[in-house]
Amino acid sequence: MCGIVCYIGSKEATPILIEGLKRLEYRGYDSAGIAVHDGKNVHLVKTKGRISDLEIKISNLQIRGNMGIGHTRWATHGEPTDINAHPHTDEDGNVFVVHNGIIENYSILKRRLEKEGIRFRTDTDTEVLAHLISYYFDGDLIEAVRRALADVEGTFGIAVIHRESPGRIILARRGSPIVIGIGNGEHFAASDVNAMIRYTANVVPLEDNELAVVTRDDFNIMTIQAAKIVNRSITTVDWKAEEAELNGFPHYMLKEIYEQPEAVNNAMRGRIDPAEAVPKLGGIEPVWDDLKRCKNFIIVGCGTSYHAGYVGRYIFERLTDLDVDVELASEFRYRKLNFPSNTFVLALSQSGETADTLAAIREARRKGAKLLGIVNVVGSSIARETDAGVYNHAGPEIGVASTKNFTSQLVVLTLLALLIGRHHNLSYTEGAEAIRELKALPGKIKEMLFQANHIQAIAEKYYRCNNWLFIGRKFNYPIALEGALKLKEVSYIHAEGYAAGEMKHGPIALINPEMPTVAIVPQDDMHEKMINNIQEIKSRKGPVIAISTLGDREVKKIADDVIEIPRTLDYLYPILTVIPCQLLAYYCAVLLGRDVDKPRNLAKSVTVE
């Protein structure tokens, strides 16, 4: 859960590394550092804190060089301190390593190296790598890295430079992403394409157990174990650098909330055929014959992606004849899995690199399931390891709290369910209605965004409350979970999401005048039951913020505050009801002075278990 960036070419490396680290800061931001090779020596600068702290430290130094590596950290082993920041070195200051992942056997390796007289300076697992590479180095850096990694158990994405080996950077990967950026007379590498998108859109991802040697003019990929040369084609990323800029917004989270009409539209672009009322999903074609015969479908994801999958289960049950389950990816592989024949497992992940989700689909494959993926990042691990899938095309999402990726996931899930449903028992009329309402969603989201000032005023009324509840039923129960998660993530307010019918089984004991409840109550077939739940809360003097369908007078009579949403189909309401939840969380966080885009203890892409 850290960010790596590398550069080798003819330009000064330091400003490129700093810019790349800023673009990766959402992956980790408790410490940062760079190591720059000037052809003779390596200049190392690192510090606790943000990239801005590193910039201040560098401004007082003269660091020149056309090759370097950088790192921004989210701590796993060792507290965030100057000494524990990356890059890490060997005792003599020859080897410099940045690392994302966890070395599981580092204690064993550390004891072995200490017996050889090697002294350790940090509390990190990464320092073991630097000492191991130095231990094996006899002039051949590639071989030293290969031998060191052969001793390692765990996950890694690494970049290595050596004082005596100018002109090349060694990269390697097992479980943590590393992508090479292809330039003209220069090359880049990073754990995320966002770090180098300003300079190149042409990338080559490393796969697990691969090593790459990168120079200013070339790169070569080989297997770590056998040093067998690997040929891989270049992929072009469809993002533009300006998409990752703030463009006048105070925070990425708010910008990405406002990008949702476009993100939803992009998720549908070229995929809807109104004439046949059947979506076109080219990425599903490799498994389409099996998918048409599928009876058992399992959706896995973590955090916000899990909540999207939870909504997806209701959508699939509504539109298809499949038996559908949704599972937390972090728990999935620890269960005893017994799949019926022709079971499909669908993985949801924005980055396509989520460690728990990757582990889940690998276990599912071992047990005989076929794999699908819905991811946002082209060429990511989940995209490569699944049998087929669909890209979100939501564009880069920088804010740690996912917003536009969630709604685009819901759109893609709906398209997939509609495609399968139309080959089951779903009628043309129902298919045409779904497509018509899907196409109307971007406009309806824009309508809701015009209410931002109203939602901000509601946040101003309640942001000092220390505890919140979010309740919903059926399609909107997962939105209650997601709304509570968003509030917790960015404002640090304690919040819980509940199925509204569960209130009387315990949570209603918490209701008091200081505890607001966000009730998600659109005019669907759960409307009357939700009204009853609101009445139960109001009778106990609990304040209610209702998210309801435009013109619902019944809700207006009983709720303290109302946020209205346009009317749509029952299974599409979650794409609308989540928007007020996102904005409430955002405005509460701003009012409390939180660092909205970089909430404490969190990182965007969770690449460690």
Please name the residue ranges forming H helices in 497-552.
527-538
Catalytic entry in 22, 474, 488, 604 = 604
Q: Token pair of 324, please?
A: 């559908």
Distance CA 434, CA 228 (A): 51
Q: How far is CA 6 from CA 12, 241, 275, 378, 577, in A?
A: 12, 18, 49, 20, 41
CA angle 278/281/285 to nearest 5° reads 110
Kindly report the CA angle at 291 between 286 and 296, in degrees rounded to 5?
A: 140
- Residue 126 and residue 193: Cα distance in Å, rounded? 23
Cα(277)–Cα(53) distance, integer angstroms: 55
User: Distance between CA atoms of 2 and 176, rounded to whole angstroms?
Assistant: 10
9 CB contacts (<8 Å, ≥6 apart)? 66, 67, 183, 185, 186, 187, 216
Residue 538's Cβ-count burial label (10 Å; 0-12, 13-18, 19+) is middle
Measured CA to CA, the distance from residue 159 to residue 157 in angstroms comes to: 7
H helices of 25-84, where?
51-59
Sheet containing 42-48: give its strands across: 42-48, 31-37, 67-73, 3-8, 187-190, 179-182, 202-205, 235-236
Nearest to 37 by CA among 167, 157, 134: 167
What sign does the dihedral 137-176-16-123 (CA atoms) show?
negative
Is 2 among the catalytic positions? yes
**Cα atoms found within 13 Å of the Cα of residue 284, Cβ hemisphere only:** 20
Separation of CA 605 from chain center: 4
- Return the structure tokens found at 17: 């590394």
- Give the Cα separation of 113 and 136 in Å (integer): 12
Count CA atoms closer than 13 A to 121's CA, side-chain side: 15
Alpha helices in 259-324 (DSSP H): 260-268, 288-293, 304-319
Among the options 2, 294, 302, 588, which is catalytic?
Answer: 2
Residues in the chain: 609
- Encoding tokens for residue 560? 């303290």
Residue 469 · residue 516 · CB < 8 Å: yes
Identity (one letter) of the amino acid at 353?
A: E
The structure tokens listed for 462 are 């309640």
Q: Catalytic site residues?
A: 2, 604
